[in-house]
Amino acid sequence: MIAVIKTGGKQYKVSPSDKLKIEKIEGEEGSKVIFDSVLMVSSKDAKEVVVGEPLIKGAKVEAKILKQGRHDKVTVVKHKAKKRYNRNGSHRQPYTEIEIEKITK
């Protein structure tokens, strides 16, 4: 099965045993998390496709939290030409790595 879920303001296409990094969600490593914001569910061969309006009622995607971490550092530079304005900064975005276990309609 294939599903499209919505979390953290983004949409992800997932299937069982997929591992992906999503925006940070609360939870300990090894705990289960359930996504009930399911936008679409399809069979592998795409013969059965269910599209929500906007969500599918009763559909769930179960996942296991593998890791809580932070991405690599991103450098931010602000500069205005001929104005002697320079600002430097950096940012590390937190993420949660999950593994999809089960998709139910």
Q: Look over the chain and give the mean of its residue pLDDT values, rounded to a whole number.
A: 95
Does the residue 56 lie in any domain?
yes
Does the residue 20 lie in any domain?
yes
What share of the chain has pLDDT > 70, as a percent? 100
Does the residue 6 lie in any domain?
yes
Does the residue 63 lie in any domain?
yes
Domain extent at residue 59: 2-69+96-104
Does the residue 90 lie in any domain?
no
Does the residue 88 lie in any domain?
no
Does the residue 77 lie in any domain?
no
Sheet holding 32-35: strands in order across? 19-23, 94-104, 60-70, 32-35
**Upper half-sphere CA count for residue 33 (Cβ side, 13 Å):** 22
What share of the chain has pLDDT > 90, as a percent? 91
pLDDT of residue 47: 86
| Amino acid code (one letter) for 73 | K
CA 60 to chain centre: 15
Tokens of 45: 């061969």
Does the residue 78 lie in any domain?
no
- What does residue 36 show for φ and ψ, rounded to 5 degrees? -110, 5
Per residue in 60-87, pLDDT (tens digit) is: 999 999 999 999 999 999 999 999 999 9
Instruction: Report the number of distinct structural domains present in the chain.
Output: 1
